[in-house]
Structure 1
Amino acid sequence: MIESLLVANRGEIARRIIRTANRLGIRAIAVHSEADAGLPFVTEADEAVCVGPANPAQSYRNVEAILAAAKATGAQAIHPGYGFLSENADFARTVERSGLIWVGPGADAITAMGDKINARNLMAAAGVPVAAGTTEPAADLDAAVAAAAGIGYPVMVKAAAGGGGMGMGVAADEAALRTEYDKVRAFAERMFGDGSVLIERYFPRVRHVEVQILGLADGRVVALGERECSVQRRNQKLVEESPSPAVSPELRARFLAAAVRAGEAVGYRNAGTVECLLDPATQEFFFLEMNTRLQVEHPVTELVYGVDLVEEQLRVAAGLPPTFDPDALAPRGHAIELRINAEDPKRFLPGPGAITTWREPGGEGVRVDSGYVAGNTVTPFYDSLLAKLIVNGRDRAEAVERARAAVAAFEVAGPKCNLPFFAELLENEEFLSGDYDTGIVGRMR
């Protein structure tokens, strides 16, 4: 097993990785910005190194500073968490060329899946269903208009290099397409340094379902069930649950088989997620993208399958077999995750500030993965995620009941917080029925 691990991230995911490292007796090394010096992940690590000022480009995305910290502390491996450098193929290659272990998929797999058009083409060749769309970038507006005419409106206009719900727009007709194309292209150039645009069929009513895969050290790819991720605002996930209430056993078998094929097509190793869109009317699903990293919502899979995905990541990276029998994976119960953010519960606008009260709920079936404690300050420099409230029960009804009680018991004061939104959601008839889609939040507002 790896003996020393540098965590190239911050907040709740850094704290989460450090917790597993501590349990396994691995020396955990944190890197942090000047703004994060007082956060729990820094103090809970065995060693911590400041890698720059608050600006992520000068700290958490500063490859030279992170590698220098690894060298100075004698780290054997680097875990990138999610976000920041986690899906940066050049960083993965640099880590390995520096003689360190990269806790993630190979750089070639990251590159293959990083471009949405290339990923779609690879998946189609592997027999994974993809929605109608362009097989090469729409080079200009005329090309986009021609592609949309062939696909049929409405269409989704997407940044080929985008991810995490960013760089997307919907066009119901040609006039809207002309506006959205220019908007998405400008955003993609600014955010990703790549203005390539994909035109794809848009589904007005759709569910967002993803499959957790794990590429093992022996070359096999296994699927650890699906997660429902349809409660979203501005294409950003707010709630995830497993198993999906929309997925029948027959559909699940198709989902998992397609996800395994997707992983096998790129020789995938380590943890990853195959994201799909599900048309509830036809039960058709289509490949959306593959996230070549650990997902924010991985805890619901951990609770349903009884595994520690961070430990499994470390074992794969070290060339070790998994802790579970890949041929005897069986889900148990139901789990729900709520993303507790420092944002207004109505308009979802960020609201940073000093935390004056922080009381986490507890009890049977309740888990909190948090990045903050009372006395910390939520700064405007990073993602607004404060914590993840995860509950599990024998079935969905019990998980919902535990979620209600946990939300009511969770006390946060200082920054804005979206806990009241979850209290409302957990009484919403559409959500409770399980028959909801990605438009549910808009209908609640």
Structure 2
Amino acid sequence: MAKQYDVAVIGAGAAGMMCAAVAAQRGKRVVLIDHAAKLAEKIRISGGGRCNFTNINAGPANFLSENPHFCKSALSRYTPQDFLALVKKHRIGYHEKHRGQLFCDDSAEQVIQMLKTECADGNVTWRMPCSVASVENTSEGFLLETDTGDILADSVVIATGGLSIPKIGATDFGYRIAAQYGLKMVEPRPGLVPLTFDGPSWEAFAPLSGIALEVEVETGSGKERGAKRGFFREDLLFTHRGLSGPAILQISSYWQPGTPIVLNLLPDIDVAQTLIEGKGTIKKQLGNVLSQWLPARLAEGLLVANGFAPDARLADMADAKLRKLGDAINRWAIVPTGSEGYRKAEVTLGGIDTRELSQQSMMATKVPGLYFIGEAVDVTGWLGGYNFQWAWASGVAAGQAIGE
């Protein structure tokens, strides 16, 4: 005999718990299902264990989607200030770290406990760990076959996330359900992910692992159909396999395979002009001049990679060569060979095509009662709390619609 509920939420992460709590507090009988043994691991590990739970600047401009207007409705109806009110209600201490990013003073565990309490306030039923084998339409509602017994629900919410970080339980469950009901997908790929480089052109930079500096990074022209231009000023980190750090994670969501990213390693200095103007007064070697502005190992690596001898005297260099060097530092164009993949990606780009969903309710327009929220959907935020804000906002949108 199937157990009956008004709504079954599959996936007990950020979006799923938020949706379950909102629907349940509006009087709906809610069951929240997750296949993991440990609750909300992605929240727990986020922000270095302190959960970067939102960004006070979050708005539609901070999100990528093939259908960029879709996210406006949910984000405008549940804002960072709304989530902050919930955090304050639960007396969780927080601080702003960098560019609007808000973190718990203590631990990400506080956010998990807050969401559990909100679910408890609505008498949400938990099934965890519990695997869902199938979801089928019947005349009585959606029948979910699970390894803890069958469930019958009027509505089903898919909040199972994307493919990023498989070691903490990421699966393609949401995509399989979308395919089962004939919903279109935007091809998923890793987002907010380190980029990799190999080949002879990278040999001079491979030994620079651990060096970090603030840079400007950009990619894409935005001119071709579907292209998006990204531009960020953030920290860059050299790794054993390529480049990482916030600058690279941000630009990775805009980068298209086979195209270059362009780095300005000294955004506050016009290198060519400064070197040319200094030829008459600066008696130093080229390597020593660049080491005033850049980490010494990086300065040497850049000179060697561009055919300059680090011990060459600045005064002896032709202006044309200094312009070439300036370009190599202020406009260093390099083509990544790939990324670190879902293993290291913080999010998944793409997912359920939002043109299949109602922007008011997150319900599939072709399948009444079936909802998709959070990372499963083709809405991806920047690094810095934006993806959590989408989880909260999309979860609330679905929870309210179900609760009406």
TM-score with structure 2 length normalisation? 0.26
TM-score with structure 1 length normalisation? 0.24
Max radius of gyration: which structure? 2
